[in-house]
Homo-oligomer: A and B are copies of this chain.
Amino acid sequence: MTTETPVAWIAADWGTSHLRVWLMDAEDRVIRRLTSDRGMGGLAPDAFESALLDLVGDTLGEGVTDVLICGMAGARQGWAEVPYAKVPCPAPTAAMKILTADPRLSVRILPGLSQAQPPDVMRGEETQIGGFLALEPGFDGVLCLPGTHCKWAHVSASEIVSFRTFMTGEVFALLTKHSVLRHSTGGDDWDAAAFDAAVSDALSKPGRLLSDLFTLRADGLLNGTGAGVSRARLSGLLIGAELAAARPYWLGQPVVILGEDALARNYLAALTAQGAEARSVAAEDITLAGLKAARTGKDKT
């Protein structure tokens, strides 16, 4: 498999469960996108190079091709551990060079961010933040990055000042797939009013999560409450609990949610209902924007 346009460099987002790659031309335009399910979670350190070559080997030219990677490939269990940059700091541009057996590759991995107090870490989201700041350089406020581990980051004067991680998405997935609530919350039905009410309940009475959860089950058994209501209510209870704890981040600050999928829309609805000054932006290529920005700033390497 070859492409007409020569590949000038390769951008990669290597997460726990997926590898996403952009083949770039010399003018920083995307030639092609490739994805693989060979995420960091399933790879031993010595399997990363071949996983990358399986995906992009056929597209490499004669010379050396730069590959710039962000995400969990730089974790302790990844390809090679890249030490965290410490906040407060700008989105990292100084990537660590990784030795490869194939001479056609010149691989570098960007660091994640760490925070000393309270202890927190990210790997990958810092590049999304960098991408957002490349698009809106003067932004001063708070970014919310919904997902398995939702991140809230305070950004000011082009630096990431502080951040917090909430395990909201992972807890939702565990409860709907593996807990007794799987009987009450299956399927894809969604009751928006139940979500709104649950967010409000959780915000007005924080700290009741562990009993509110079982109420969902009992409500289904006793009152025949449907899965669409229970599922939306579960999400609302969790996101409401997150918003209660994240209030120091969003209260009185301009908030931008990175993403426009269903989850991002739910965060936007919840924040807006609380009177927060929130908007969302499309996140599809924001990681690529961050990788491009990091490559441009790579002179610090």
Residues of A participating in the B interface, judged by any CB pair closer than 8 Å: 76, 84, 114-116, 118-121, 149, 164-168, 170-171, 174-175, 178-180, 206-211, 213-215, 217-219, 221-223, 238, 241-242, 244-246
- A241 contacts which chain B residues (CB < 8 A)? 207, 209-210
Bound-state Cα–Cα, A174 to B179, Å: 8
A86, closest chain B residue (CB):
B222
- A217 contacts which chain B residues (CB < 8 A)? 121
8 intermolecular pairs with C-beta atoms under 8 Å apart = A84-B222, A120-B215, A120-B218, A121-B218, A164-B211, A170-B180, A171-B213, A209-B241
- A218 contacts which chain B residues (CB < 8 A)? 114-115, 118-121, 165
Bound-state Cα–Cα, A114 to B214, Å: 13
- A246 contacts which chain B residues (CB < 8 A)? 211
A81 to chain B, nearest CB (A): 10
CB contact between A206 and one of B114, B206, B219 (< 8 Å): that residue: B206
CB contact between A166 and one of B118, B180, B210, B222 (< 8 Å): that residue: B210
CB contact between A180 and one of B119, B149, B179 (< 8 Å): that residue: B149
CB contact between A214 and one of B116, B165, B179, B206 (< 8 Å): that residue: B165
A263 to chain B, nearest CB (A): 15
Would you call B170 and A245 a contact (CB within 8 A)?
no
Bound-state Cα–Cα, A84 to B19, Å: 51
Would you call A215 and B178 a contact (CB within 8 A)?
no
- A178 contacts which chain B residues (CB < 8 A)? 174, 178
User: When A and B form their complex, which 6 residue pairs have the shortest distance between CB atoms, in order from nearest?
Assistant: A206-B207, A119-B218, A165-B214, A207-B207, A166-B210, A119-B219
- A213 contacts which chain B residues (CB < 8 A)? 167, 171
Would you call A167 and B119 a contact (CB within 8 A)?
no
- A208 contacts which chain B residues (CB < 8 A)? 245
Bound-state Cα–Cα, A201 to B179, Å: 26
Bound-state Cα–Cα, A76 to B245, Å: 37
A171 touching B223 in the complex, CB below 8 Å, given contacts A165-B218, A215-B119, A215-B120: no
Bound-state Cα–Cα, A291 to B223, Å: 29
A148 to chain B, nearest CB (A): 8
